[in-house]
Amino acid sequence: MQMTLRWYGSKHDTVTLEQIRQIPGVKSVITTLYDSVPGEAWSVEDIRAMKQEVEAAGLTIAGIESVNIHDAIKIGSSDREQYIENYITTLERLGQEGIHMVCYNFMPVFDWTRTELARKREDGSTVLAYTQAAVDAIEPEKMFESIAGDMNGTVMPGWEPERMARVKELFELYKDVDDDKLFENLKYFLERIMPTCDKYDINMAIHPDDPAWSVFGLPRIIINKDNILRMMKMVDNPHNGVTFCSGSYGTNLENNLPDMIRSLKGRIHFAHVRNLKFNTPTDFEEAAHLSSDGSFDMYEIMKALYDIGFEGPIRPDHGRMIWGEVAMPGYGLYDRALGAAYLNGLWEAITKSSSKA
Ligand code: DNO
């Protein structure tokens, strides 16, 4: 595996490339053109500038998170063709610049959803948290307002204010889209882009829906083993793969994470590894990466990745806000650096004990 850190670009991130360069074992970042709008083709100049900036700091780009999908593609409306064409152009340009992994999601309206961005834990750190009772008690259009005050002046991915201003309209557009229709639209999109992925060797890595169940009655399909295997079979090309995100699939305690990893051998192109602490099955908070701080066995997750021969990029995921840092919730430097060191330690131990066995 290749340890990386997510970086939003110098205009948006409080963490610098120079800081990332000093995290032991991190040689690459996962980044994006954060100002890009879903549906537009990325320019060659912008891609090159992003690459040069990262390389000038002594790092490389291990992949993009995300090239976002325009709603017309998810809804399957008649204007989707132009947006698919633009997506293909972006993939071609990324491939020509030597970038071979693209993370994306197929969640309607909301990207990942949390109900609190700064829940205080016993140790004084603050973390993102989710409680179903809070979602059930709120109108979807109020969701953004309810968390906006805790964003520490940052724009959170999937929660862009312009997008949130259109929530009502978006709900209307998705009104005839159920799970099967969403699967069908995803299949159509993947079949159209696979020839380009084959040509440029681009691994597409779909991010799971988070939480891994329907919110506000919207369809959510990338939520469990059956559905993700259905997706792998429906477009049976190795470039059609997944981002295995333990914190997202793990929101549903019925998901057996190591077993899911093993069932996806050869199709995991990117891994997000983090821990959650459950208070009840529908109330959880994002713990430190260490197993004993949360509810998951992180050793078993890393061991499953090792056992399937995972060689792709991996990143520590959301971190707690600690040591007085002010950053995008989940994306500060300190706790993610601790996460990277811990995951690297687990990997070293697994590698050494396996080769001695
Ligand atoms: C949240 C992230 C997601 C993820 C997208 C992928 O922190 O994991 O926003 O990047 O769903 O497109």
Give the pLDDT score at 356: 67
Assess contact for 308 and 266: CB atoms under 8 A: yes
Q: What is the pLDDT of residue 146?
A: 87
Domains within the chain, CATH numbers bracketed: 2-356 (3.20.20.150)
| C-alpha torsion 15→29→272→230, nearest 10 | 140
**Residue 100: active-site member:** no
Where do we find the tokens 């229709």? 181
How far away, in angstroms, is 5 Cα from ligand 1 center?
A: 13
Q: What is the 3-state secondary structure (H, E, C) of 218-287?
A: CCCCCCCHHHHHHHHHHCCCCCEEEEEEHHHHCCCCCCCHHHHHHHCCCCEEEEEECCEEEEECCEEEEC
The C-alpha atoms of residue 158 and residue 212 are separated, in whole angstroms, by 16
Q: What is the structure's pLDDT at 33?
A: 98
Ligand 1 atom nearest the C-alpha of 318 is 7
Q: How far apart are CA 182 and CA 176, in angstroms?
A: 10
In this structure, the number of other CB atoms found within 10 A of the CB of residue 143 comes to: 22
Distances (CA, A) of 143 to 76, 117, 140, 159, 242: 26, 12, 5, 10, 28
Overall pTM surpassing 0.95 (yes/no): yes
**Does the beta carbon of 286 lie inside 6 Å of ligand 1?**
no
Residues of the chain with pLDDT under 50: none
Ordered strands of the 283-286 beta sheet: 116-120, 126-131, 283-286, 276-280
**Which residue CA neighbors atom 11 of ligand 1 most closely?**
105
pLDDT attached to residue 355? 81
- What pLDDT digit, counting tens, does each position of 44-84 carry? 999 999 999 999 999 999 999 999 999 999 999 999 999 99
| Other Cβ atoms within 10 Å of 216 Cβ, number | 17
pLDDT of residue 164: 87
Mutate which of 68, 207, 318, 320 for ligand 1 pocket (most atoms within 8 A of beta carbon): 207
Best residue among 7, 31, 65 to mutate for probing ligand 1, ranked by most atoms within 8 Å of CB? 65
